[in-house]
Structure 1
C-alpha cells in the first residue's frame, strides 16, 4: 500500500489522520470537518511560513467563490477544536492583512517498524491535502474557478518597479518616484506588522507607524489620518478598500518588520485605496543598534519620497 494514502501527522500535541480527519491527544478525540482538515494540512505543508487567504481559499473551497470570511470562520472553528487561543496562539498565529501560519511543531508519525523521517512531512502533507475530494461534489461552471495564479501575476506586475537596497544603503533623494494616477492627497498609515520569528519587535513596529504619521502630517498638501483611527485596524483582517472608506482616505501606507541576526528589515508599501494596487514600495535594511535613530532615518526617507507625490501647496498652485 502507498504510504502516502494514509499518513498520521503530529501537530503540536495532536496526532492527525490526514485521510479521516480524526485527531487524537491522549484519550481525547476530535473529528475535524473536511474543510478544516484541508486548511490545517495546507498550513502544515509549510510550517512557520505565512499562508495567504487566497491560497487557503483555493485549498478549502476549490471551484467555488466564497468570501474571506469563510476562511476566518473555518480557522476560528479549527482553533476551538485544537484548544488554541488567537491572543496567545500555540498552533495557528494570525498575521494581520497577510494570512496565517502554523507555529506548532510538525512531524510524520512513523508506522510500526518504520523510521521517522521529519524531512518527508511537507511532501506527505501536501499530497494528502491535494488528494482530498471536494466536500461538495456538485460540478461547478468554469467561470467560478478561483484564479490564484492570475492574482499572483497582478501582484508581481504591481511591485515590478521595486528597487533593491543593499544592507545599510540609503534612498537616493534624486531617484525618480513612480507617479500615482492622481496626486497623493489623503493618506492613512496602518500599523506595521511584526514578522520577526520571535514576534518581539511590536514596540518598534508601532513606533515606526507613529513616526511616519508625525512626519507625513507635516507634508504640505497631504492630509494624514490620526493614529487612533488607523490603530483600530491593528490585528484585523479587513480589505484595503473597506479600510480606506472607513478612514476617508485615497491611499494607505503599510509595512512590516523582519529580523535576521543583527539586521532589521523594514518594508514599506503605498497602496491605492480603490483597487489595492501597489503604487510604490521599498525595503530598508539597517543594523539592529539604535532603534530610535533607525525609525527617524527611515521615516525621513519615506517622507521625502511621498512628499513628491503630494499635491503642491495652495499658494504654489495660484502662481
Structure 2
C-alpha cells in the first residue's frame, strides 16, 4: 500500500528504485528485491500485465511509473456541496472553510486505497474458494521419496525472465521425474500454485509430497543468479540450498547441477532413514 501511495503521489513520473526504498522502506535495511516483489504483488492485485501495463509501467534500469489516470474526485453526486449558504452573520462558514482546506491529492489516494482493497478482497475470496475446492480431491498419503518443484520466482527487474524461470521449473520436474522410485507431481499440478499465497505444508499436503524444491532467478548484466532450496514439508526446515552465479548461456548446466544435488540429498536422507529405521512420515 505504501508503494502504491508513493507512485500515486508522483503519477506519470518515473520513480527510481532508490527513491522507493527511501520512501516506502524508510529506516529498514532491505535490498532492491523487496521493490521487485512488492511491484509484482501489486500488479497481481490490480490484474495488471507488466508487458502491456494499464497501472504500473517499468522504466528499464530507471524505476517504475504509475500510468493510470490520477485526478481529484468530482462531487457530481452531491451538488449541495458546491452551494453552501453564506451565514447572515458574515462570519466564515466552518464547513465550507474545512472543505477548502482538503488536499485533492488525499482524495485521490483514498480512492486508490479503496480500489486496491476491493480488488484484493475479491481476489482473496475467489482464490480462497478455488484453492479449497481443488486441494481437497488431490490429497494423497505422503511418501518419503516424493518431491514437488514449485515455480521459480522471477525477481529480475521488470520480471523479464519469467519464461526462463518457468522453463527452469519444467526442466527440473522432467529431470527429477527420471530418477527411479522418486515421485514428482506434473508441471500442471505445480504451476497451479504459481502466484498464490499458500504455505509449504499446505502445498505438500495437497500434492502428497514429503519435500518441496523452490527457488528464484535474478539477473545482473549478462549474468544470472539462480537460487534453489530443498525444504522438508512436515517441519519447514531447509535441508539444502545453493546459489549459482553463471553467464546466461550456462543455465542448462545449473539445471543439471541442481537436479543432481537434490537427488544426492534425497538419497542420503533415505539411506539414513533406513539405517535408523525411522518410520515413514504420515
TM-score by length of 2: 0.50
**Structure (1 or 2) with the larger CA radius of gyration:** 2
